[in-house]
């Protein structure tokens, strides 16, 4: 099966600092791949290369587009987003004063603009635009219902509790119709119950849409519970990859990041 994302020899240097050092791995279709490692390991830098915030020093980032491979390295972020890569951020970036529903409609803006013939059909209220608008609202309401926010649809996004804002940001990214969903520390700031609920949501989204997910996360209960595959970075280099059980037992990962379990120390 062709990988959705193929990263080969990716290197990112900032002057004399090598933040990512020849990293290679793949993200499989309908699978959740976690990127873990200590602070400063290069995880967010790698995300920024994939999503177009940084231009890699060298290496390849290829996105599968139904059999054709598109080189993402060096493309601007807006073009990468249009190719089907959606992202959330460690710090929530909702449209705070827009309603919860409007946040999800904005995520479908590109499709609505195409349906409106770039405003003409929308201004005239032509049937093709009305159909597209109704579909966008239906999609938004579907995801709001899935995350328990349908009763808050008309409330400003910044009035939601923190955990609800996290879920809203994820389903907003989903509403763009991505081939690859990149989640940057989605469980940051959540309590254990909220983290467990979020992990279940991520797994459900991936399964329902056959969607490939690449996530950065420090909460190991989320990582081990949701991931099909885990890639471990340390000082910008890949030190291990594999399934959750293999990563838990990997001596290099234990030494660099996970630490010894309490019973082993005792």
Specify the pLDDT at position 217: 94
Specify the pLDDT at position 196: 94
Domains and CATH numbers, the chain: 1-84+178-266 (3.40.50.300), 93-177 (3.40.50.300)
* Average pLDDT of the residues in 211-230: 95
Average pLDDT, whole number, for the chain? 89
Task: Give the 3-state secondary structure of residue 86.
Answer: strand
* Average pLDDT of the residues in 1-7: 94
* Average pLDDT of the residues in 109-135: 59
Which own/partner pairs from 148-156 qualify as long-range (CB within 8 Å, at least 24 positions apart)?
149/100, 152/100, 153/99, 153/100, 153/101, 154/99, 154/100, 154/101, 155/99, 155/100, 156/96, 156/97, 156/98, 156/99, 156/100
Q: Percent of the chain beyond pLDDT 90? A: 79
* Average pLDDT of the residues in 207-219: 95
pTM tops 0.75, yes or no: yes
**pLDDT, tens digit, 9 for 90 and up, residues 233-246:** 999 999 999 999 99
Specify the pLDDT at position 90: 85
Residue of higher predicted confidence among 227 and 263? 227
Specify the pLDDT at position 162: 95
Specify the pLDDT at position 264: 44
Specify the pLDDT at position 11: 98
Determine which of 114-118, 190-194, 249-253 has the lowest per-residue pLDDT on average: 114-118
Q: Is pLDDT of 166 > 50?
A: yes
Burial class (CB in 10 A: 0-12, 13-18, 19+), 127: exposed
Specify the pLDDT at position 262: 46
pLDDT band at 226 (very low <50, low <70, confident <90, very high): very high
Residue of higher predicted confidence among 111 and 134? 134
Determine which of 89-93, 146-150, 170-174, 207-211 has the lowest per-residue pLDDT on average: 89-93
Left (φ > 0), alpha (ψ -120 to 50) or beta: where does 111 sit?
alpha
Determine which of 28-32, 231-235, 240-244, 258-262 has the lowest per-residue pLDDT on average: 258-262
């Amino acid at each position: 099966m062709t990988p959705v994302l193929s990263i080969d020899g990716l290197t990112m240097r900032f002057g004399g600092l090598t933040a990512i050092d020849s990293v290679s791995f793949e993200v499989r279709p309908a699978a959740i791949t976690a990127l873990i490692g200590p602070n400063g390991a290069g995880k967010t830098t790698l995300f920024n290369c994939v999503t177009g915030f940084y231009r890699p020093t060298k290496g390849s980032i290829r996105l599968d587009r139904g059999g054709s491979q598109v080189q993402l390295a060096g493309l601007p972020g807006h073009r990468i987003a249009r190719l089907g890569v959606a992202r959330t951020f460690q710090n929530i970036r909702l449209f705070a004063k827009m309603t919860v529903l409007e946040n999800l409609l904005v995520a479908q803006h590109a499709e609505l603009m195409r349906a409106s013939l770039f405003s003409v059909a929308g201004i005239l209220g032509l049937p093709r635009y009305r159909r597209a608008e109704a579909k966008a609202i239906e999609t938004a309401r579907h995801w709001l219902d899935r995350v328990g926010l349908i009763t808050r649809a008309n409330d400003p996004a910044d009035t939601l509790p923190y955990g609800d804002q996290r879920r809203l940001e994820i389903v907003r990214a989903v509403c763009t119709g991505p081939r690859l969903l990149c989640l940057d520390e989605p469980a940051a700031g959540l309590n254990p119950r909220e983290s467990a609920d979020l992990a279940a949501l991520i797994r459900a989204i991936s399964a329902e849409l056959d969607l490939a997910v690449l996530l950065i996360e420090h909460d190991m209960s989320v990582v081990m519970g949701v991931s099909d595959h885990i890639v471990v970075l340390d000082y910008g280099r890949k030190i291990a990859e594999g399934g959750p059980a293999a990563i838990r037992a990997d001596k290099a990962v234990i030494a660099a990041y996970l630490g010894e379990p309490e019973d082993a120390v005792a």
